[in-house]
Amino acid sequence: MGLALLGGMLAAFGQAPIGLWPVTLLGLGLLIRQVALAENRPAALWLGWAGGLGHFALAMSWIVAPFLVEPETYGWMAPFALVLMAGGLALFWALAAGLAHVAGQGRASRAALFALTLVLAEALRGWTFTGLPWAMPGHVFIGSAFDQTAALGGALLLTLLATAVAACPVIWPRTGLFPALALLTAAFTYGQSRLAEPLPADHGASLRLVQPGIDQAAKWDPVQAEANFASLIRLSRQGDSVPDLVIWPETAIPYLFDPSIAQAIARGTGGLQVATGAQIIEGDAAYNALVVLDGQGALAARYDKAHLVPFGEYFPFGDLAYRWFGLRAFAAQQGYGYAKGPGPVLLDLGPLGHVLPLICYEAVFARDLHAAPDGADWLLQITNDAWFGIWQGPFQHFDQARLRAIEQGKPLVRVGNTGISALIDARGRVLALLPLGEVGTLDVTLPGRLEPPPYAQHGDWPIIGLIATLFALIAARLRRGPH
């Protein structure tokens, strides 16, 4: 159990901001070895769970940060949230280990099967209870040439690369290093060749990304609302050029949105077109929205966030939790949570093209982008990562946004309240960036998009099918005799 726990913890060292992906491979290899040598099914289950516990407790320790924004109300929940989250997510790794032990016979086959079932467990984790595909083993490759393989098979293919490389020395103790290096060499060569290919011409639209750097504890303070709003206006007018679009982060407006606020933005910015996060009340429902305002303050486009964060933006059985215990979602300022929007949409911004909007956490879900209508020219993520603290959370969130650009072959514009704000090209490369915690603006030119790569066309199913086929082939061979 101790070695399995250590293996899971080492596997977390490849996640941002540490980025030591070779340590992840070593940690996964240690965990795979422990599971492969398990004496029985219960032992395999416990070992898989211990590995998952170590991994998620370390990789997602940022989860305590939202509870510390209002520590007098929510601080007591922080340790329980971390333990329950890590222990719950570890159940998926336990399931993978148990299945590998049942289907396998001996060290080699169980190691191979666990490398496959762990990827399937990660796929399942991305869907169950609205899903949380955060800190997947494959995410450790983001920012290296290996990440370009996501254009073929997304985060699941990257995770399969990680587990397969880690399993090779367990399957073949004497010679396993050679196939492991061959897999890494193939992925690296493909990535380098893809990065060397020319990009299409820039779209040409000029954008101003505004990062106001407002501390979360002060964001909804009515005493500071006027100063916060004035800061957004001042930053929007900062610079010598006139941008085609100014972009503010998620829930940037410190007031509930209405036509008077839209007019104030138009007057304050001198008639600039502005896209901003806003909270909108309609009847009894509150929405976390993105609105686009023309130079006269008229509403040109609107998107209501559809994939909400459990406990962050809505509370399961929220009316009861609010009425009985006074608990509400952290981010919502009205009642106990936001209402869900209708789903992914494309916003037609005229000369700026068609944009697929993503609000904060939605960029974590590749499947949401697959559900969107075809024809996006670029992706826009507005976010408020001030909730995520100042270490792991914002960097891991940023990396996952980069992965969406690679998977879709579309440039991505990211604007965060406290950062990280950036312009990312269609291969996931960072062209311009405002670091975490910095106040300022970025004036950028929108890059061009690529033709949809295989993953944008087919999603996760080819990788799931490949894994199922490999699993069936190993199982069939084992039925012919022990191996």
Instruction: Report the catalytic residues.
Output: 250, 305, 360
Closest CA to 183 of 199, 163, 197, 201: 163
How many alpha carbons lie under 13 Å from residue 315 in its C-beta half-sphere?
21
User: In this structure, what token pair is assigned to residue 279?
Assistant: 């909270």
In the 3-class helix/strand/coil scheme, how is 430-449 assigned residue by residue?
EEEEECCCCCEEEEEECCCC
In contact, 385 and 355? CB cutoff 8 Å: no
- Cβ neighbours of 439 (radius 10 Å): 14
Helices (H), 126-149: none
The CA distance from 61 to 4, in Å, is 19
In contact, 478 and 468? CB cutoff 8 Å: no
Residue 208's DSSP bridge partners are: 246, 443
In contact, 411 and 182? CB cutoff 8 Å: no
| Backbone φ/ψ region at 18: left (φ over 0), alpha (ψ -120 to 50), beta | alpha
